[in-house]
Amino acid sequence: MSTRRNNREHAQRYLDGLQGHPFPNSEKLYLTGSRDDLRVGMREVTLTPSVIGGDRANPITRDNDPIPVYDTAGPYSDPASDIDVRAGLAPLRRQWILERGDTTELASVSSDYTQQRLADAGFDHLRFEQLPNPRKAKAGANVSQLHYARNGVITPEMEYVAIRENLGRERLRNEILTQAQPGQSFGANLPERITAEFVRSEVAAGRAIIPVNINHPEAEPMIIGRNFLVKVNANIGNSSVSSSIEEEVEKLVWSCRWGADTVMDLSTGRHIHETREWIIRNSPVPIGTVPIYQALEKVNGIAEDLTWPIFRDTLIEQAEQGVDYFTIHAGVLLRYVPMTAERVTGIVSRGGSIMAKWCLSHHKENFLYEHFEAICELCAQYDVALSLGDGMRPGSVADANDRAQFAELETLGELTKIAWKHDVQTIIEGPGHVPMQLIKVNMDKQLQECFEAPFYTLGPQITDIAPGYDHFTSGIGAAMIGWYGCAMLCYVTPKEHLGLPDKEDVKQGLIAYKIAAHAADIAKGHPGAQIRDNALSLARFEFRWEDQFNLSLDPETARAYHDASLPQESAKVAHFCSMCGPKFCSMKITQEVRDYAAKNGSGDPLAQVIELQDDTEIVKGMAQQSEAFRQQGGQLYHALSDEDELESQS
Amino acid sequence: MSTRRNNREHAQRYLDGLQGHPFPNSEKLYLTGSRDDLRVGMREVTLTPSVIGGDRANPITRDNDPIPVYDTAGPYSDPASDIDVRAGLAPLRRQWILERGDTTELASVSSDYTQQRLADAGFDHLRFEQLPNPRKAKAGANVSQLHYARNGVITPEMEYVAIRENLGRERLRNEILTQAQPGQSFGANLPERITAEFVRSEVAAGRAIIPVNINHPEAEPMIIGRNFLVKVNANIGNSSVSSSIEEEVEKLVWSCRWGADTVMDLSTGRHIHETREWIIRNSPVPIGTVPIYQALEKVNGIAEDLTWPIFRDTLIEQAEQGVDYFTIHAGVLLRYVPMTAERVTGIVSRGGSIMAKWCLSHHKENFLYEHFEAICELCAQYDVALSLGDGMRPGSVADANDRAQFAELETLGELTKIAWKHDVQTIIEGPGHVPMQLIKVNMDKQLQECFEAPFYTLGPQITDIAPGYDHFTSGIGAAMIGWYGCAMLCYVTPKEHLGLPDKEDVKQGLIAYKIAAHAADIAKGHPGAQIRDNALSLARFEFRWEDQFNLSLDPETARAYHDASLPQESAKVAHFCSMCGPKFCSMKITQEVRDYAAKNGSGDPLAQVIELQDDTEIVKGMAQQSEAFRQQGGQLYHALSDEDELESQS
């Protein structure tokens, strides 16, 4: 018990002291769109100048462009923000929602359960106090971004997304930064510049979603689709055996800081309702849930006691709190359940197993499938997106791509068409555990069966032999499927299969998945994806250590690792590093190659050498070149005096 | 200085206390070949029995097959071994070498440098005391495994390798274990069972090497080739600014424990010669070096002062110590150097930059290229394999696959033919930094240009934005290129680009790369690769927590992560875990599905349900099924009493 209390108290202190703070040497930047209240937050990493000549006393320098970085932290990375987790974040989208005039503010919540819960003073100590009144579509109205998009309306959310995806790249001046390797897009359509109209058209086609419940106006709009940057989801949530509300809110803030594009609250404990309220009110990113988890709590964990009315009330409860997307396991059909009997690991999806049990117990078809149209009607009234759950996903590489998995995927395609009929934004969940050679067929089949609705996969994990490292075993699969076309990658933490993730696990999971998503962007040929790589590589080559740290996904760790070998401040401006030491350094030698090439001819340096070799007086020429190089080489090992200094210190 | 002294003392204590110890619940196992002294070490993970019926008081159990695991730790994982790092390991191959009768024991070392070094009492305190006399081929003899293979000789080393690669898989009884997903081999030839003759034929064809210097009889034979298990190399080695001999020997032992198939000693500091002796004498795995590093030390770090005689003496020095393979940057040609001038990160290979500088300085062709035949002649006398270094490898994704890189690769193909002419075993080094979409062309081009000589790559790293996590950014690329056909993956540690790895970094790098190599084996369809995955997945499904931990690549970490959430001993036999809690558990529910399917029909469970649904009395049938399931469901939440117990404890 003491550990749990300590964790809670630690989280409480963290939240009390919370204020917006950027990453090292980063500035929060807002690009304003067509209206003053459309301000798209991002961060810029400020770089030190490059030394391009002169000497140590009087260096000649060239300024380096600040590098824009996609920022999921919202107000939490802005020092100008007032953060008060008891008040929640500012509702940046409220005015946009109000202006559309298609919603009404409800006098009270519609869910029976919420009403009972609010009336129970026993939960007062847990409750988020400043509860907003929920909104709902006016009778007959559909308030989804898909509905607007299909009607040709470009919403502020769409414009926001377009600006956000472009990152203001046109402001970069150094051409080396925007050079990129050719991508292999596997059919993705990646325009050089994202326009609001492109966003609208992609949403209208169902190829992308903007998950923005009208009751979560605090969220910054973002987009999930194959033709945009690959996104990452972080799962948080307490269970009946671990963690508190404070810890979950701390994990939310932490997740956003480390790059979660959306967060799923998978709580299964006693205070799901109250935990969720705290999370949503403080979240700058869309929040997803699996409503069946809470519905199961309401029937005391007895799956066969689940009913459609209880589930429906749960959807309303959560929609009016502001959940942005629901995972619904409507594709777990009765006839698919026995297909899992021969598997090595059976059904591993919690939602899938609950529905499988319900189906077998009643020997009836899945009630989520039977009531799917009603679910869609409800989602359209709040703009809750649907994430069609893969209850039959494989739980081991042995079970990958079997008929249970693919049968369900086909049903998810059928459900996608129904959701789209109701203008409900839809994404499709995918596996799970899949060895490398079987990943691509998952992507291809999903695109085909689900009509290019965005794919959202958990990993996939490519081997089962490394519990404790499954952020990595799954991060490999995630990078690959992101390249092949997956729109969002659900992270896995090092604790997967073993325990619930703590804060450090959340960070490790997110960094693994930011790497996977970014690598996928580069591989697809996403315009601008390589800018940060180029900037960091240039900094590395020029021994701008501070810039190399600050451009990293995790500046603190990069700096700490460097300092573990060379803790002296002087080492951060040294023109060598601990790997090779000062005696020789490949980067330094390359600079000499470059200087040599520059001084010995203005043309193609290759041609110059070939020319020399072709010379009839080749021996003489070589001797001359050699002498010239030696004369330039007086300062070859620039840092020799630094070396002695360092060695005497260490 | 105090940190350095502490590290040294820590390493000293570690080495003093060293004794063979297996992984948890593992036993060291030796399979004997055609002669009594051909005993192939591996480890077996012993599993607990499965509960298949009965009740808690009288469970009915079924034994589980122990799972064989490839073991690189040699005597260090055998409790029966006497380990004394001052004496070195037992020379298990000495008799085989002697029996061939094609070598002679030298009265003294051949290298001038070694002779001087041995005569200098100033190094006595650093020296490995029990120096063996070196051996060398008799005049005119070629003692390479490639030479024997081409002459139709199956050596004990070849037989050893065959037994080692098969892992005694035929002893497994449970058929589920050997089920495997279909692989995609990209042309690899992966026989169900490796024979010694197959090993010979692959070595003879140059498609595989067995790096076994006659002066390193302590090493256990292993094979590097596309048609065998993918291997992993760990780099260790001190530099002028860090680490001691004790620390490097500790890292060697540690590397073998965590799965290094070979170890490269990349030391660049003052005591390279003595450090290497300690490493080789204590290494059960082949040792590689980059001799130019030491040659450079001998000319005080001035690259242009390097000469062929100095380099040649260094090769002899190292060959007589027992280095199993040399990285030689003979493909860095003068005309290629200027091709790097326009790169973002120029030349990043240390060896490559040294040779580039030498070439430019003298404006002569690379002396390693000019004297390549002499290098081969020397290697053939000791059976040192060649690893043709990629001095022009890219140092950033921006520079991948450029003309400098591929021009050098073509030259490495030319050098491969020369090495093969001398029956010298040869592998080819590869990049580096390559984005995902450009990896496959590297593999394909290498196979073509170098006539299927084994490829040995560093990563490749697929993005540059995550210093501090480059074991992961490169592990992704390593998994992919391993799948495509790369034979050995050179690990990268979290400290890459930032500092020198410590022991924990070595472990993290190795685990990342063991995952990559293993995932590649599965993806290629290597027979037996999926056994450990299947065994672990079965253990997971059956809540055999101890087995799940013990089958993991890192049992201690898996156990620690589990215990962080559920520290009670009872939780390790609990039929639930902290992720879902005891209220519902997908694995438990799956078991119910399975039991249900088993009890309600002996045929195809799918057919049974479909049949029911097709029944004209379908409603009645469903009601019956439902009732039957409810009756079976009395014990649905098996662990409810455990739950209360756990909650009261926590």
A566 located within any domain = no
In angstroms, what CA-CA distances link A248 with A10, A263, B510? 12, 11, 33
Q: What element of type H or E holds B262?
A: strand B262-265
CATH code, A386: 3.20.20.540
A331 located within any domain = yes
Cross-chain Cβ contact B465/A551 below 8 Å:
yes
Please list every residue in chain A whose beta carbon sits closer than 8 Å to the beta carbon of residue B613: 334-335
Of the partner residues B464, B479, B625, the one whose CB lies closest to the CB of residue A533:
B464
B304 located within any domain = yes
Q: Chain A closest CA to B372's CA: distance in Å?
A: 21
Query: Confidence class of residue B570 from pLDDT cuts 50, 70 and 90?
Result: low
A38 located within any domain = no
Cross-chain Cβ contact B269/A581 below 8 Å:
yes
Chain segment A459-500, per-residue pLDDT in tens: 999 999 999 999 999 999 999 999 999 999 999 999 999 988
Cross-chain Cβ contact B597/A623 below 8 Å:
no
B359 is in an annotated binding site: no
Q: Chain A closest CA to B82's CA: distance in Å?
A: 30
Q: Chain A closest CA to B633's CA: distance in Å?
A: 9
Alpha-carbon distance of B352 to B346, in angstroms, equals 11
Cross-chain Cβ contact A564/B464 below 8 Å:
no
pLDDT at B21: 82
Residues recorded for chain A: 650
Dihedral sign computed on CA atoms, order A524, A527, A530, A534: positive
Parent domain of B110? 93-168+183-530
Map residue A9 onto helix, strand or coil: helix
Give, as one character, the DSSP assignment of residue A543: T
Strands B231-236 vs B262-265: parallel, antiparallel or unpaired: parallel
Of the partner residues A176, A532, A594, the one whose CB lies closest to the CB of residue B465:
A532
Alpha-carbon distance of B274 to B124, in angstroms, equals 10
Cross-chain Cβ contact A553/B469 below 8 Å:
yes
Q: In sequence order, which residues have a C-beta less than 8 Å from that of residue A437 and are 6 or more positions away?
A: B181, B182, B183, B184, B483, B522, B523, B524, B525
Check if the beta carbon of residue B226 is closer than 8 Å to that of residue B525: no
Which structure tokens are listed for B491? 């690990």
B633 is in an annotated binding site: no
pLDDT at A241: 54
Query: Confidence class of residue A637 from pLDDT cuts 50, 70 and 90?
Result: very low
Query: CB count, 10 Å around CB of B646?
Result: 21
Q: What element of type H or E holds A488?
A: strand A488-490
Q: Chain A closest CA to B142's CA: distance in Å?
A: 36
pLDDT at B613: 34
Q: In sequence order, which residues have a C-beta less than 8 Å from that of residue A368 and are 6 or more positions away?
A: A292, A311, A328, A329, A330, A332, A355, A375
Task: Tell me what percent of the residues of chain B surpass a pLDDT of 90.
Answer: 76
Check if the beta carbon of residue B268 is closer than 8 Å to that of residue B236: no
Cross-chain Cβ contact A587/B348 below 8 Å:
yes
Which chain B residue has its CA at the smallest distance from A608's CA?
A: B338
A598 located within any domain = no
Q: In sequence order, which residues have a C-beta less than 8 Å from that of residue A309 and are 6 or more positions away?
A: none
Cross-chain Cβ contact A499/B344 below 8 Å:
no
Cross-chain Cβ contact B360/A499 below 8 Å:
no
Of the partner residues B530, B565, B633, the one whose CB lies closest to the CB of residue A500:
B565
Q: In sequence order, which residues have a C-beta less than 8 Å from that of residue B226 and are 6 or more positions away?
A: B188, B207, B208, B452, B454, B455, B485, B486, B487
Q: How high is the mean pLDDT of chain A?
A: 89
Q: In sequence order, which residues have a C-beta less than 8 Å from that of residue B344 and are 6 or more positions away?
A: A176, A534, A537, A538, A541, B395, B396, B398, B399
A483 located within any domain = yes
Alpha-carbon distance of A87 to A70, in angstroms, equals 26
Alpha-carbon distance of B42 to B638, in angstroms, equals 39
Closest among B44, B40, B43, B42 to B67, alpha carbons compared: B44
Cross-chain Cβ contact B647/A515 below 8 Å:
no
Dihedral sign computed on CA atoms, order A393, A399, A401, A402: negative
In angstroms, what CA-CA distances link A365 with A330, A334, A358, A547, B632? 10, 5, 9, 58, 20
B402 is in an annotated binding site: no
Of the partner residues A181, A361, A438, the one whose CB lies closest to the CB of residue B438:
A181
Q: Residue ranges of the alpha helices (H) in A324-402?
A: 350-362, 367-370, 372-380
Alpha-carbon distance of B542 to B591, in angstroms, equals 9
Alpha-carbon distance of B390 to B409, in angstroms, equals 7
Closest among A332, A370, A379 to A354, alpha carbons compared: A332
Closest among A512, A567, A508, A562 to A540, alpha carbons compared: A562
Dihedral sign computed on CA atoms, order A182, A187, A188, A194: positive
Cross-chain Cβ contact B561/A498 below 8 Å:
yes
The stretch A409-437 carries a mean pLDDT of 98
Please list every residue in chain A whose beta carbon sits closer than 8 Å to the beta carbon of residue B339: 605-606
Alpha-carbon distance of A476 to A460, in angstroms, equals 8
Beta strands in B313-471 (DSSP E): 325-328, 385-388, 426-430, 455-458
Check if the beta carbon of residue B443 is closer than 8 Å to that of residue B481: yes
Q: Any idea which of A328-342, A462-476, A583-597, B449-463 has the lowest mean pLDDT?
A: A583-597
Cross-chain Cβ contact A1/B625 below 8 Å:
no
Please list every residue in chain A whose beta carbon sits closer than 8 Å to the beta carbon of residue B643: 240
Which chain A residue has its CA at the smallest distance from B396's CA?
A: A537
pLDDT at B632 over 80: no
Q: Chain B closest CA to A228's CA: distance in Å?
A: 18
pLDDT at A622 over 50: no
A587 located within any domain = no
Give, as one character, the DSSP assignment of residue A637: T
**In the beta sheet, which residues pair with residue A239?**
A242
> Which residues of A define the annotated binding site?
235, 264, 293, 329, 349-351, 390-393, 429, 433, 456, 497, 577, 580, 585
Q: In sequence order, which residues have a C-beta less than 8 Å from that of residue B121 and are 6 or more positions away?
A: none
B422 is in an annotated binding site: no
Alpha-carbon distance of B85 to B97, in angstroms, equals 23
pLDDT at A640: 28
Q: In sequence order, which residues have a C-beta less than 8 Å from that of residue A175 and are 6 or more positions away?
A: none
In one-letter notation, the amino acid at residue A471 is H
Query: Can you spell out the DSSP letters for A424-450?
Result: --EEEEE-SB--GGGHHHHHHHHHHHT
Cross-chain Cβ contact B511/A1 below 8 Å:
no
In one-letter notation, the amino acid at residue B229 is L
B246 is in an annotated binding site: no
Which chain A residue has its CA at the smallest distance from B345's CA?
A: A541
Alpha-carbon distance of A512 to B640, in angstroms, equals 36
Please list every residue in chain B whose beta carbon sits closer than 8 Å to the beta carbon of residue A597: 338, 341
Query: Can you spell out the DSSP letters for B25-40?
Result: TEEEEEEE-SSTT-EE
Of the partner residues B344, B363, B522, the one whose CB lies closest to the CB of residue A622:
B363
A574 located within any domain = no
B580 is in an annotated binding site: yes
ipTM, two decimals, is: 0.91
Query: CB count, 10 Å around CB of B617?
Result: 10
Please list every residue in chain B whose beta carbon sits closer than 8 Å to the beta carbon of residue A553: 465-466, 468-469
The stretch A550-568 carries a mean pLDDT of 90
Q: Chain B closest CA to A124's CA: distance in Å?
A: 23
Q: Is the pTM of this model over 0.90?
A: yes
Q: What element of type H or E holds B503?
A: helix B503-524
Check if the beta carbon of residue A628 is closer than 8 Å to that of residue A600: yes
Please list every residue in chain A whose beta carbon sits closer than 8 Å to the beta carbon of residue B491: none
* Dihedrals phi, psi of A201, to nearest 5 degrees: -65, -35
Q: Chain A closest CA to B107's CA: distance in Å?
A: 36
Alpha-carbon distance of B461 to B433, in angstroms, equals 5
Chain segment B492-537, per-residue pLDDT in tens: 999 999 988 889 999 999 999 999 999 999 999 999 999 999 999 9
Task: Tell me what percent of the residues of chain A surpass a pLDDT of 90.
Answer: 76
Angle at CA B404, nearest 5°, toward B401 and B410?
A: 85
Which structure tokens are listed for A43? 């961060």
pLDDT at B242 over 90: no
Q: Chain A closest CA to B149's CA: distance in Å?
A: 33
Residues recorded for chain B: 650
Cross-chain Cβ contact A360/B303 below 8 Å:
no
Alpha-carbon distance of B111 to B166, in angstroms, equals 40
Check if the beta carbon of residue A478 is closer than 8 Å to that of residue A246: no
Q: Pick the residue with more confidence: A271 or B598?
A: A271
Per-residue exposure over A615-634, b if at least 16 CB sit within 10 Å of its own CB, e if not: eeeeeebbeebbeebeebbe
The stretch B204-231 carries a mean pLDDT of 98
Please list every residue in chain B whose beta carbon sits closer than 8 Å to the beta carbon of residue A541: 344-346, 395-396
Domain count, chain A: 1
Please list every residue in chain A whose beta carbon sits closer than 8 Å to the beta carbon of residue B606: 335, 338-339
Q: What element of type H or E holds A325?
A: strand A325-328
Chain segment A171-215, per-residue pLDDT in tens: 999 999 999 999 999 999 999 999 999 999 999 999 999 999 999
Q: Chain B closest CA to A350's CA: distance in Å?
A: 5
B486 is in an annotated binding site: no
Q: What element of type H or E holds A327?
A: strand A325-328
Please list every residue in chain A whose beta carbon sits closer than 8 Å to the beta carbon of residue B360: 592-593, 596, 625, 629
Please list every residue in chain B whose beta carbon sits closer than 8 Å to the beta carbon of residue A594: 341, 346
Chain segment B349-390, per-residue pLDDT in tens: 999 999 999 999 899 999 999 999 999 999 999 999 999 999
The stretch A595-606 carries a mean pLDDT of 52
Alpha-carbon distance of B284 to A530, in angstroms, equals 42
Alpha-carbon distance of B207 to B341, in angstroms, equals 34
pLDDT at A7: 77
Q: What Rg value do the Cα atoms of chain B yield, rounded? A: 28
B391 is in an annotated binding site: yes
Q: What Rg value do the Cα atoms of chain A yield, rounded? A: 28
* Dihedrals phi, psi of B137, to nearest 5 degrees: -60, 145
Residue of B533, B542, B550, B591 to mutate for A, most A C-beta atoms under 10 A: B533
